[in-house]
Amino acid sequence: MTPPSAAVPPILSLALLLSLVYLFLAVVFVIRRATDKSGKELARRIEEVARGRGLAPDVSADLVKRHEMSSLRWLDVFLSRHAWSQRMNKVLDQADIRAPLGIFVLLSLVFMATGYLAASLYVSNFLVRLAVGAGLGALPFKWIAMRKAARMKEFERQLPEALELVARALKAGHTFSSGMGMVESEFADPIRVEFHKTLEEINFGVGVTVALDNLMDRVDCPDLNFFVVSVKIQNETGGNLAEIVENISWLIRERFKLKGRIRVLSAEGRMAAWVLCLLPFFVCGAVQMLNPGYLALLFNEPIGHMLLYLVGGLMLMGILVIRKMVRIEV
C-alpha cells in the first residue's frame, strides 16, 4: 500500500518562496543589464568625436535634461504616462532619495507577492492574504514618506535660525543673495542643499522671485511659504527686508512654542488613543491563551466572519476619528 504523501513543512515552503523572490530579482537585474544601452551610446558618440566627425547632428535636439523613472524602458514608459508618478518623483526629491521610482515600484510588487504567498501558507481567507500583501507592498512607500517627513521636520527646525542669519546679513549691508550664501556655508543639510540650489538658479540668471517659487515647490514646509511670499511682496512694493525676515523668524519660533504646548496638552489623548486601539488585540490574545477554543466560533462559522468584518470596519472608523481628534494643526 502506498504511504500517504507527507505535507510540506511551512518553513520549507517559506524558503522556496524566498528563493523564487531572489530568482525574480536576479532576472530583473539581468534584463536591466541587457537592455541598458546608455554605455553603448556613449561609446558610439566618443568614437565619432575621436574620428573627427564631431558631434552627431541630432545632439542639438537632445539638450533638455531627461529624468528617467526606471532603467527598464517599458517601466519608464509606463510610469511616465501617469500623474501619480510625477507626484512620487517630487516626494523622492523632497526625501533626498537618489534612486529612481521604478526600483520602489518593483520592490513593492515583490513585497506584495511575497506577503500574499507567505500568508497563503497559513491563512485560507482571501481578504486576509490580500491585506497582508497590501501591507507589505506599502512598506517601501511608507519608508519614503518617513524619510520625507524627517527631512522636512529638520528643515523646519533650521529655518528660524537661517532667517535670523539672513536678517543680520541684511542689516550689515550685504545683499539678499549674500545672506543666503552665508546660510549655505554655515548650516548643515537639508537647508544647505536647498538654499544652494536656489543660489545656483539666481546665479544662472533666474529671477529671485522665480527661484524662491522653485524653493517653495521643492520643500513641503508651510513656514517657508511665509518667507517666500513676504520677500515677493517686498520685492514689488518695497520696505525694510531685514525687519520683515526678522519678524518672520520670530513668528516661526512662536509657532513652534504653540505646537509644543499643544503637544503636551494632547499627550493624554494620544496615550488613550493607543490604549483603545491596542486593547482589543491584547484581550483577544489573552482569551486565546487562557481558553484556546473560546474564539474558534468567530473563525470557523460564516456569521463569525461577518462579525469580524463588521468589528474591523468599526475599529478602523474609530481609529480615524480618534486620530482626527488628537491631531491639532497649528
pLDDT recorded at residue 238: 76
Which bin fits 240, alpha (ψ -120 to 50), beta or left (φ > 0)? beta
pLDDT recorded at residue 73: 67
Amino acid at 244: I
pLDDT recorded at residue 60: 41
Q: Mean pLDDT across the chain, nearest whole number?
A: 78
Quick: pLDDT tens for 175-192: 888 888 888 888 888 888
Closest CA to 167 of 259, 92, 244, 261: 244
Query: Which of the two residues, 41 and 260, has the higher pLDDT score?
Result: 260
**Contact criterion met (CB below 8 Å) for 326 and 270:** yes
pLDDT recorded at residue 146: 92
For the CA atoms of 160, 197, 174, 182, the dihedral, rounded to the nearest 10 degrees, stands at 60
Query: Which of the two residues, 243 and 85, has the higher pLDDT score?
Result: 243
User: Which of 49-53, 79-83, 244-248, 306-310 is predicted least confidently?
Assistant: 49-53
Question: Buried b vs exposed e over 194-231: b needs ≥16 C-beta within 10 Å?
Answer: bbbebbebbeeeeebeebbebbbebbbbebbebbbebb
- Would you say residue 150 has pLDDT above 60? yes
Q: What is the mean pLDDT of residues 76-94?
A: 78
- Would you say residue 323 has pLDDT above 70? yes
- Would you say residue 42 has pLDDT above 60? no
Distance of CA 227 to the CA centre of its chain: 25
Burial status of residue 137 (CB atoms within 10 A of its CB: 0-12, 13-18, 19 or more): buried
- CATH 1.20.81 domain span(s) along the chain: 151-260
The share of the chain scoring above pLDDT 70, in percent, equals 76
Location of C-alpha cell 547632428? 57
Question: Buried b vs exposed e over 276-300: b needs ≥16 C-beta within 10 Å?
Answer: eeeeeeeeeeeeeeeeeeeeeeeee
Residues 6 or more apart whose Cβ sits within 8 Å of residue 66: none
pLDDT recorded at residue 55: 47
- Would you say residue 112 has pLDDT above 80? yes
Confidence of residue 66 (pLDDT cuts 50, 70, 90): low
Quick: pLDDT tens for 135-144: 888 898 999 9
pLDDT recorded at residue 276: 84
* Structural fold of domain 151-260: Receptor-associated Protein (1.20.81)
User: Which of 67-81, 196-210, 291-305 is predicted least confidently?
Assistant: 67-81
Quick: pLDDT tens for 5-39: 444 455 556 666 666 666 666 656 655 555 555 55
